[in-house]
Amino acid sequence: MGSRRSPAELLGGVFRDDGVGTFGKAALRKAIARVEAGRGSDEKPLSQLAKLSYLWMAMRELARLPVAERLHQYGDELQRALALWNSSAAWYGLHGAHPMGCLAALNELTHARTELGSADLPLGERASAYYSIGAKVRSKMTARRFFRQSFALSRAKLAQRPDDPSGLLQMTASAHARLALLGEPWRYALALRDFRKSLDWRSSRGAPQESVGEAMNAYAFALFKLRWRRAEALALAAEGSALIRDSAGGLASGFYFRSERKRAEMLGGAGRLDQAIAVAVAARDLAARAQAFDQARPLGELVASLEARKTGL
């Protein structure tokens, strides 16, 4: 207990030690079931903050167990809780070397599965976590390191030939695009290739409407960087957002906020400031009401930037 813990270990490494206190199995399973159902006792959808609150109760119970019992008798609950924590923490904005963040949860999930002899390591999820951190750091050298790690993890998972490679293709495409902007311009053609492959895979296999719209928007955002294809990119982005909006998840989907932010950025880049502001404001307000703060914050910053540009004209 006296050794120094890494900030990339969940809750300072509490799950690497034997716990103390009275364990509540019913409380653990009820909390996880509530988050998996996605609805509270009033049947209203749970916000990401509410999900994290339930998961905190689950983590508290798991932390009370001895290591061996936690892994071998409650290993399924441990893995489910960690995976759910990563998902809600990502939407809530808990990125970086944070002891309650996405990467810490995924590192703990990797440790648990390795100890249990599972080959199903969360490579793709860790790729996403490294990418999110790379997007926030200021040092170009550090950002390159995170994006390269994200790319390597995505490629490693793709090498396992998953049934659905489309999300991983978007991850490799995103890493390529970031690295292209950080001094490796040859990667941009590869980014466009992988974004297009992801969209084609989902479109040709009858993927859910929201999933197709998300891939369409991602490809459009990358395509917009090519000035001679901007009109095509804007039309594609609008179509992608409409697909997400009209899907089962609809306006409550985190993907909708993300797609509208990208579309607003593109509209602003094309000089259509009034339209860009309207799109960004509507998405920001929806995200705030849904407590999707990881989306509301950048949308708010985008609104302020666009309004400042309009004022300065």
pLDDT tens digit sequence for 287-312: 888 777 778 888 999 999 999 998 88
d(CA 221, CA 122): 27
What does the pLDDT look like over 115-145, one tens digit per residue?
A: 999 999 999 999 999 999 999 899 999 999 9
Q: Assess whether pLDDT exceeds 70 at residue 7.
A: no
What does the pLDDT look like over 170-195, one tens digit per residue?
A: 999 999 999 999 999 999 999 999 99
Long-range contacts of 148-154 (CB under 8 A, 24+ apart): 148/175, 148/179, 150/174, 150/175, 151/127, 151/175, 151/176, 151/179, 153/123, 153/124, 153/126, 153/127, 154/123, 154/124, 154/127
Nearest alpha carbon to residue 6 among 76, 99, 86, 93:
99
Nearest alpha carbon to residue 288 among 85, 65, 93:
93
d(CA 202, CA 219): 12
pTM: 0.83
Phi, psi torsion values for 73, nearest 5 degrees: -105, -30
- DSSP E strand stretches across the chain: none
d(CA 295, CA 281): 12
d(CA 222, CA 187): 12
Q: Residue 141 corresponds to which amino acid?
A: M
244 token code pair: 């997400």
**Geometric angle at alpha carbon 162, from 294 and 204, rounded to 5°:** 85
d(CA 234, CA 279): 13
